Structure 1
Amino acid sequence: MSVESDLREIRSIPVHGISDWICRRFPDGSFPQWWLAIFESLETSLSSLLDVVSSRRGHDFEVSVEVVSLAVAIGDIRPPMGAYWMLRLAAIALRYDPPVADLPEVVTPGGAAEWALNRMPVSREQEIADSKIRKAEHLAAREGYYAPVGRVLPASGEVDVRFSALQDVELILSALPWISSAVTNGKVSRDVAAWLEIRDQL
């Protein structure tokens, strides 16, 4: 089955049945590439330039929220990547005038921002500290620190957790500005501003 046919099936069933459909379709789990292809197709279908009835818009947002949430809950997509896509959905919703009726709370500006901030892998203080270490290691690196050009190296399977977390935070921070000015919840707005303030230090 293609991504297009999978998406048609997903959109044809009740939102509460998507989880069961995913489990039947991929009993051993799916690949992140499949999920990302589904996310991208859903994003395209939500374009405000398409002539679609308003009830269909609301349903498409519900489906998109369910799919992103499931991908994270199942563990096929890292939480920060899910947060990035939830912010993208919220940014799309902001473009509608009039607004989409019955929009899921998690893709309102405040809902998406809070959902994303709750999936930050480290604190702001830790992010700044790890960023300084990364910069220092890069500045002190000698030739052997980098992979040689033109030669394939065997995969070690080792992941630098600190720097992976840095990249995850940077991914979320790249999307937060899309909705930050529309966040009306005072506490969430302050938290967003505090995170965005450290971007230049990373």
Structure 2
Amino acid sequence: MRVDSDLCEMRGVLKGRLADWVSSRFPGGTSPQWWLSIFESLEVSASPFREVTPERRADDLNLAEEAILLAVKLGGVRAAVGAYWMLRIAALALRFDPPLVGLPQILTPDGSAGWALQQIPLTRERAIAESETRRVEHLNAGEGFYAPVGGEVTPASEVAFSGLQDVELILSALPWVCPHLKDKGIESEVRSWMEIRGSL
């Protein structure tokens, strides 16, 4: 499988040289699906249920962190998707006792939450306003708003995601690290977002 062979190669790339490998491997650019497959494969590889050494597990989590940051930088995935996955990988790292050695700050609860907060594209006020607009649009939608039952649907050539959807994606992942936050500023900001989550 191509993703498996790509992952094997990526494990051999020196830290900081992943961007060079990606541009060489994919001169025409990568797809979001490829990046997500890499993230998922690394998550599975580092799972507590896999019989691997702590060192190998830490290496895979470090590679996941580097891949996520690179994917966002290159536009391979949206920043919100990167934030979701960073929180997911940080939550995975919390499952090991004793803790894994050599993980970057961004894979701590405070580090992942702080970075995720920076990727939120809207203010809380704007998110609430857009949520209300969406609610009104759905309530007032006519027949043409919905796909016909049993009819043909022509998929869009490119799917557009709203800022509100990105907010909701990040907020869905923040609870995974919330109980472990130590930085009071980050904890306060996360709590403020969590308070409006039910209103969106």
Shorter-normalised TM range: over 0.9
RMSD over equivalenced CA pairs, Å? 1.6
1:82 aligns with 2:56: no
Q: Distance in 2 between matches of 1:36 and 1:159?
A: 16
Q: Distance in 2 between matches of 1:5 and 1:157?
A: 29
Note the C-alpha offset of 1:151: 2.7
Aligned to 1:103: 103
Aligned to 1:61: 61
CA contact (8 A) 1:61 1:103 kept: yes
Aligned to 2:187: 189
Alpha-carbon displacement from aligned partner over 1:52-99 (angstroms, at most 9, x marks no partner): 222222222211111011110000100000000000000001101011
| Aligned CA distance change for structure 1 residues 156 and 90 (closer, same or farther; 3 Å) | closer
Q: Distance in 1 between matches of 2:57 and 2:106?
A: 15
Alpha-carbon displacement from aligned partner over 1:79-133 (angstroms, at most 9, x marks no partner): 0000000000000011010111121111100000011010001111100010011
Amino acid paired to 1:175: A
Aligned to 2:123: 123
Q: Which residue, out of 179, 197, 200, partners 1:199?
A: 197
Give the match's secondary structure for 1:194.
helix
Q: Could you tell me which runs of 5 or more consecutive residues in structure 1 were left unpaired when the two chains were aligned.
A: none
CA contact (8 A) 1:61 1:104 kept: no
Aligned to 1:10: 10
Amino acid paired to 2:101: A
Give the match's secondary structure for 2:115.
helix
Give the match's secondary structure for 1:201.
coil
Q: Distance in 2 between matches of 1:41 and 1:157?
A: 27
Identity among equivalent positions (%) equals 50
| Aligned CA distance change for structure 1 residues 153 and 174 (closer, same or farther; 3 Å) | same
1:35 aligns with 2:56: no
CA contact (8 A) 2:43 2:61 kept: no
Aligned to 1:150: 150
Note the C-alpha offset of 1:158: 7.9
Q: Distance in 1 between matches of 2:93 and 2:158?
A: 39
| Aligned CA distance change for structure 1 residues 39 and 118 (closer, same or farther; 3 Å) | same
CA contact (8 A) 1:15 1:62 kept: no
Note the C-alpha offset of 1:152: 2.8
Q: Number of paired residues?
A: 200
Amino acid paired to 1:192: V
Q: Distance in 2 between matches of 1:44 and 1:160?
A: 29
Q: Distance in 2 between matches of 1:176 and 1:99?
A: 20
Amino acid paired to 1:114: G
Q: Could you tell me which runs of 5 or more consecutive residues in structure 2 were left unpaired when the two chains were aligned.
A: none
| Aligned CA distance change for structure 1 residues 141 and 21 (closer, same or farther; 3 Å) | same
